[in-house]
Amino acid sequence: MRLLPYGDRGLLVELADTAAAVSAAAALRTDTAVAELVADVVPGARTVLLVARPGVSVDRLRTVVPDEKHLLGAGNGAFGQGLPGPEVIIPVVYDGPDLAAVAELTGLSAEEVVAAHTATSWQVAFGGFAPGFAYLVGGDPRLRVPRRDQPRTTVPAGSVGLAGEFSGVYPRASPGGWQLIGRTDAVLWDIERDPPALLAAGITVRFEASER
């Protein structure tokens, strides 16, 4: 674990991998000493960015970050071990335009891609692409595929995609480069709802194959 300064208000906690980053983000978010000093905790793929409240120095922030052992050993997150957090079921029609390409890239049949995508529970690692978009991790490692060479200019809302170690659902129509394997009617973002985001940190996601 490394602590890197990020200007005069940020401290970037760098970890070994996404699993460690998820655990560290959960631990940092619930640490009362940290919470007193930060305006936001921004999880990334290998990092957690702590944003200091106005008037709090990075040096002061640094003093309250627990060491790696405490951060990762707090028992609040190693994934794949069944988090106590809530589970959200997302029904998916697996007819995405890249399903055949994903099958070819992974050496699986289309049916095996669907089986692998629905077999494991996924966890929210971090957000950031759009409101309500969650980068999900914890999937079958055979599903790791690169982004498309040519991003699409429009990906419809509800598209379910894969990229690298991540899976995710597009909350709204937007450009996108992920490999699309299906679609869902689940509403990922609704400003009339409280909270507006369906998926938040600590939530476990299961995809279920649906006929329509």
Partner 1 sequence: MSALLVRAVGGPVLVQDAGRPGHAAIGVGSAGAADRASYTLGGRLVGNEPGAAALEVVLGGLEVEADGHVTVCVTGAPAPLEVEGRPEPSGAVLTLRPGQRLRLGTPASGLRSYLSVRGGLELPPLLGSRARDTLAGLGPEPVRVGAVLPVGTRAPGEVLVDAVPPSRYDAVPVVRVVRGPRDDWAADPDALVARTWRVGGASDRVGLRLEGDPLGVVPGKGELPSEGALRGAVQLPPDGHPVVFGPDHPVTGGYPVIAVVVDADTDRLAQLRPGEELRFRWV
Q: Which residues bind partner 1 (CB under 8 A)?
A: 4-10, 12, 14, 18, 25, 29, 39-49, 51, 124, 126-135, 171, 191, 195-197, 199-201
Nearest approach, Cβ of residue 145 and partner 1 (Å): 15
In this structure, are residues 163 and 177 in contact, taking their beta carbons and an 8 Å threshold?
yes
CB 154 to partner 1: min, Å: 15
Of 172 and 206, nearer to partner 1 (C-beta) is 172
Cis peptide leading into 195, omega within 30 of 0? Answer: yes
Nearer to partner 1, 45 or 93 (CB): 45
Least distance (Å) between residue 86 CB and partner 1 = 14
Query: Please, what is the minimum distance in Å from the beta carbon of residue 146 to partner 1?
Result: 10
Q: Are 115 and 103 in contact (CB under 8 A)?
A: no
Question: Which of 5/156 has CB closer to partner 1?
Answer: 5
**DSSP-assigned letter for residue 33:** H
* Residue type, position 98, single letter: D
| Strand runs labelled E in the chain | 2-6, 10-14, 38-43, 47-52, 87-92, 122-127, 134-137, 152-155, 159-163, 166-169, 174-176, 179-183, 204-209
